[in-house]
Every structure is written in C-alpha cells, then in structure tokens.
Chain A
Amino acid sequence: MANSEKFVEIRHARKSYGSLEVLKDISLSVDRGEIVAIIGPSGSGKSTLLRAINDLDSLSGGEVWLDGVQINKTLGHREYEKHINAMRQQVGMVFQHFNLFPHMSVRDNVTMAPKLLKGISDKEAEALAIEQLNHVGMLERIDYYPSQLSGGQKQRVAIARALAMKPKVMLFDEATSALDPELVEEVNQVMKMLAEEHMTMVIVTHEMDFAASVCDRVIFMDGGVVVEEGAPEQVFRNPKEERTRAFLRKHLSVHGKG
C-alpha cells in the first residue's frame, strides 16, 4: 500500500500523437514532501508529463500512481470517470493562464468545488475561503471578480482554489510564464511558502533561479526523455550531459546570468 518513498510514481510513461512521440518511456518518482522541478526546452514533453499525472492528457502507455493508488487505471467509462474525479480531488493543478472562473467571485472560485464535491456547508465554505485566501495574501480581494485582479493576484487565487481541495500533491504548469516580470515574485513567494510547509510539488518552469532556490531535485527533459536529474546545485553548476549544458548555456545567457 502507501509507500512514502514513492508518493507519486510514473512508470514507463509513453505518449504519442500519431507518429510523433512526445514521451518516450519515462519513469520517475516524487517522495512525500519533495519539491521537483521539471525543466527543458519547449516541446520537450514536460507539460505533457505533468498533465499526465492527473490524466488531463492521457498516456498512450505506462502507469501513474499516487500514494499507492493507480490514477490511470483501465476501467469502463463510467467507473473510470468516477475514479478519476476522485483522484483529481487529491491533485491540485495550477495553470500558466490561471483559468480562474470569470463568472464567479474570488470567494466562489475557491469554494465552488469543495461545496459541490465535499458537501461542506456555507459556513464551512466561508471559513475555508477566508483561510485559503489569507494564506496566499488575497483575503482583501474576496469579493472581487477575476477580471479585476492583476495576473499575479489571479495566480494566487488559482493556487488558493487548488489548495481548498486539500490536495496531496500540487502540480504547477509554468505558473509564472504568463506574468509580467514584476508580478512573478509574489507568486514565487507563495510557492516558497508551500515548500516550507512541505507540500509535495511538481513544478514545470522556465525559471532556473527559482528552481535552484526552492526545489529538492531538478529533472531536465528533452525530446521526450529525462536527460538528467539531480540536486539543483549538481544539475545547474555541474551538468553531466552535453544537452543539459547546451540548454543551460542558452537559457542562462538569455537572462544575462550564468
């Protein structure tokens, strides 16, 4: 049953669109409380891999496990729908473009799913909204609508929305890529705070500094395979593979760092 060593486990993941192989036999695992960054060039398959964890993109082959339960089980349509909906409640996801619900207030964005899926009362929902929004520093915007918020504020609300389901793991799909540079830090701060609270996180990112300072492990993907993985200082300072070196050279020089 639940194996704390391998809290999230991906076994031999494959994914192809027609003849295009996006993921080529990827296996990796994430420990409970571990923070893993996935880096790599566009089209390397890192977002596809992340989205496969909660089956938003279904794998062509391979298995995904969370806390001893297989997420992408083979079941009949109805049973699978029930199973995957229950599994997804345990996996929080944050998107590049926030995907807040524009027709709902900040409060309702946070409480809609817990009210609908966990049947909590209005009073409990209100307490939950206050707790989660306070956590990400957005409590004073509880009555606002998404269109009235900045990008950084939207993303913090999106994080609160995911956390309100009390997930076992949080997935971040380039959560700061769509933000104006001056708004990136406020979202990074929230993610750092979650890291300090030992939330298990898988973070697809282009921000090497953030990955280096927050993550326990960095995975470099290219062409649908894991090229290299290791502690941030090892991967960033002392990459073993030439492909990693080439990527880092290019990426770090773009930002004028190195």
Chain B
Amino acid sequence: MDVDLILKVYPHFIKAAWVTVELSVLTILLGLVCGALAAAARLSRFAILRFIGAAYVSVLRGVPALIFLFLLYFGGPQIGIQLSAFEAGVIGLGVNIGAYMAETMRGAIISVDKGQAEAARTLGLSRFQAFRKVILPQAMRLMIRPLGVNINAQIKGTALVAAISVVELTYTAQRYIGSTYKPFEMFLLAGALYLFIITLTGKGIAYLDRKVRLP
C-alpha cells in the first residue's frame, strides 16, 4: 500500500468530502420537505391528494435513483429543463429520498395510538390542533431513528452523482485512479471518509433520539 501517495492526495479528498457533505445536507433537507408534504398528502381526507402522494411514493421508489438522475440531467434539456450537474444531483436525489422519508413519517404518524387523537378531540381540539399538539410531537420521537436510516442511505447515495460528473468523493477517487493507477488506495481513502461522515451523523441522530426520549 502506497501510504506516501495517500498522504499526498488526502487534502483533495477532504475537499471533495465537503462536497459530499454539502450534497448530503441539501438532498436530506429537500427530502424532508418532499417527505413531509407527501406524508401529509397521503394522510389527507381528500382522495385526490392521497392519490398524488401515493403516486409520488410508488413511482420514486420503483425507479432506480440513477435512472431518475439521468432522466433529469440528460433528458431534462430535451423538455426544456437545464440544470447544472450539482443542481440535478440535489434535486434528483432529494426528490428520490423524499419518497422513502414520506413512508417513514407516515408510518410514525399512524403508529401513534388512536386513543391519543380521541382524547384530544374529546377535549374539543380540532383535527389540526390535535395533530399539532398531540400526534406530531409523539410521531417526531418515533421517526428520528428510522429517518436516521434514510439519512444514512442518502449520504452513501450521493455517490451516484459521480455518474453525472459532480466532483464529490467518489468522482474524485475515480479521477485520481486515472492519474495514479492505484484504485486500492484511492477507494480505501474515499471509503474511510464516507465511514467517518456516516459515523458522525449516526452519533448525532442517536444523541437527538436520546434527548427527546420521554421519561
């Protein structure tokens, strides 16, 4: 193993890791927004919204994220959507992970005991007030861990944008392999950095989960 080479190139990988972090943060934020909207739509009392929510979830979960990304980036210009590789990456992956997050959120919301809503409504709270004061605070606690699983998957999933030449961690590794012919060292370095980001995020989620846990 060429340790000298690793020491020489690692600053470039750190820089690329920041791009991965940036992509992760943006896609996760977009995913949370899409997920919340879709979960709300799926739980709506209006059939049309339920249908739209369900269609979003099943289409996005039924198509490989890579295909969706290609469709957006390469196919987009054909229908008048011009996006930079970075923009396409954020939108494509964010909308994609949103479908998974929607199901996570919906699952947490419907697993709050039915008696909770009944008790709230019995006191005179409206549907919305019962949701905001009673259901959501309990569902939020239930969804932190499973959303953590989605977030973990998404951080690793950002590697897909290497396929549309966004200069993040995976793409950087590939580029350095082209010039150094040392795939073992380069992928090892990239993998270690992913592991570092994932471990740190996991610790953050575990902390959050502990912090909001009920007595």
Contacts and interface: CB of A to CB of B under 8 A. Distances in A.
Nearest to B123: A113
Binding site secondary structure of chain B: helix
A89 interface: yes
Contacts of A89: 123-124
A120 to B, nearest CB: 14
Given A99-B113, A102-B214, A103-B141, A85 B124 contact: yes
Contact-residue size bin, chain B (C-beta under 8 Å from the other chain): 20 to 34
A54 interface: yes
Interface in B84-124: 113, 115-116, 118-124
Given A102-B214, A116-B129, A145-B214, A165 B123 contact: yes
12 contacts: A56-B121, A89-B124, A93-B122, A95-B115, A99-B119, A113-B123, A116-B133, A145-B214, A147-B214, A158-B119, A161-B123, A162-B122
Nearest to A92: B122
Interface of B: 113, 115-116, 118-127, 129, 133-134, 137-138, 141, 214-215
Contact-residue size bin, chain A (C-beta under 8 Å from the other chain): 20 to 34
Interface string A85-127: 1101101110101011111000000001100110000000000
Interface string A184-196: 0000000000000
A103 B115 contact: no
Nearest to B137: A103
Contact of A81 (B115, B127, B134, B214): B127
B141 A117 contact: no
A88 B115 contact: no
A148 interface: yes
A100 B120 CA distance: 9
A147 B215 contact: yes
Nearest to A81: B126
B113 A85 contact: no
B212 to A, nearest CB: 9
B125 A85 contact: yes
A54 B122 contact: yes
